Amino acid sequence: MRILFAGTPETAVPSLRRLVADGHDVAAVLTRAPAPAGRKHKLVQSAVHDAAEALGLPVMTPRTLKDAEVQANIRDAAVEAVAVVAYGLIIPKPLLDIEWINLHFSLLPAWRGAAPVQYSLWHGDEITGASTFRIEEGLDTGPVYGTLTEEIRPGDTSGELLARLSTSGAELLSRTFALVEAGDATPQPQSGASTYAPMIHPRDAQVDWTHPAVAIDRQIRAHTPDPGPWTVLEGARVKLGPVTLAPEIADLAPGQIRDGLVGTGSHAVALGAVAPAGKRAMPAADWLRGARLAEGTRFGEKA
């Protein structure tokens, strides 16, 4: 089976490499166009673009799939199916006569949408996983070829969990294509209650210290490393790393800082890494020594 691979970020790279390593006929790669990055806004190509070039595969970088010429180019590749991992562009209906098989990092129909790993952590799930499914017009609604499960470990950040799922998911995607090629794959309709994981915005990562400590811990881990959890101190944004629960400390007001501890709507949390505005992250103890906060200082309220 001749395959087109569609993906963009680092989490899609293991799947591309695994398909090639397992002998699948990957004809070309579809990825997002180079985007400006850094202070100088230099155009940088995607992680999948870099990986494809290293593998000697031709790369297409259209800014939309709605253009007739782009659709003609995809058809000219004469592929029988497309493997999709975090590609990032909407697939128009005229291209769906080709089979697009997506690797999604949740157990569908749970957490359909752009940020399944973040929402799974944020909502306190104990188990998550990955699914391969056939893309149709609905949002992640297509029939499922296969799944795998992954335990969410205490202290997991979304970056750590996604790294594990990208590796195990690559195996699932390759195995799915092997079954499809052999004619042994029959996708099954999704069943059960659906939940949704829309795109994450920086405002979602601002900590509300009136929330319970457990909820704050989940929120911070869910938004680490992207877009990065943050709070406000004296009008300036402060970035935060994962925290540790300190249930024995309950005498701090929400947001109140004392000896590396911060009050919440329940009990305290202990700060980990802290990055003041314009500075790199540092251990909380180092930050506190330099900050010299007055007694009773609080992190700001949620905007």
Q: Are residues 77 and 160 in contact, defined by beta-carbon separation less than 8 angstroms?
A: no
Token look-up 């058809």 returns: 75
**Average pLDDT rounded to a whole number, residues 77-87:** 96
Distance CA 4, CA 34 (A): 19
Query: pLDDT exceeding 90 applies to what percent of the chain?
Result: 95
> What is the longest distance spanned by two Cα atoms in the chain?
69
**Average pLDDT rounded to a whole number, residues 177-188:** 96
Amino acid in the structure at residue 94: P
Six token digits for residue 92: 């128009």
**Average pLDDT rounded to a whole number, residues 26-50:** 92
Distance CA 246, CA 252 (A): 11
Q: What is the pLDDT of residue 41?
A: 83
**Average pLDDT rounded to a whole number, residues 67-82:** 94
Q: What is the pLDDT of residue 302?
A: 47
User: Average per-residue pLDDT in the chain?
Assistant: 96
Query: For 127-161, what is each residue's pLDDT tens digit?
Result: 999 999 999 999 999 999 999 999 999 999 999 99
Q: What is the pLDDT of residue 303?
A: 43
* Range of weakest confidence among 26-40, 181-195, 237-251: 26-40
Tell me the C-alpha to C-alpha distance, in Å, between residue 237 and each of 31, 80, 127, 271, 301.
34, 50, 33, 16, 12
Q: What is the pLDDT of residue 30?
A: 98
Q: Do β-strands 99-104 and 81-85 pair in parallel, antiparallel, or remain unpaired?
A: parallel
Q: Which pLDDT band, with edges at 50, 70 and 90, does 210 fall under?
A: very high
Q: What is the pLDDT of residue 37?
A: 82
Q: Are residues 238 and 207 in contact, defined by beta-carbon separation less than 8 angstroms?
A: no
Distance CA 45, CA 139 (A): 27
Q: What is the pLDDT of residue 301?
A: 55
Tell me the C-alpha to C-alpha distance, in Å, between residue 134 and each of 16, 84, 103.
18, 10, 9
In CATH terms, the fold of domain 202-291 is Methionyl-tRNA Fmet Formyltransferase; Chain A, domain 2 (3.10.25)
| CATH architecture, range 2-182 | 3-Layer(aba) Sandwich (3.40)
Distance CA 282, CA 46 (A): 29
Six token digits for residue 189: 């309709």
Q: For the chain, which residues make up each domain, given as ranges?
A: 2-182, 202-291
Q: What's the CA angle centered on 254, arms 209 and 211, to 5 degrees?
A: 40
Q: What is the DSSP letter of 94?
A: G
Q: Cα torsion for 90, 95, 97, 102, to the nearest 10°?
A: -40
- CB atoms closer than 10 angstroms to residue 250: 12
- CB atoms closer than 10 angstroms to residue 197: 21
Six token digits for residue 120: 């799974």
Token look-up 């811990």 returns: 217
**pLDDT score of 88 more than 80:** yes
**pLDDT score of 39 more than 80:** no
Distance CA 215, CA 212 (A): 5
Tell me the C-alpha to C-alpha distance, in Å, between residue 282 and each of 202, 238, 285, 288.
21, 12, 8, 10
Tell me the C-alpha to C-alpha distance, in Å, between residue 297 and each of 246, 253, 261, 262, 263.
19, 10, 12, 10, 11
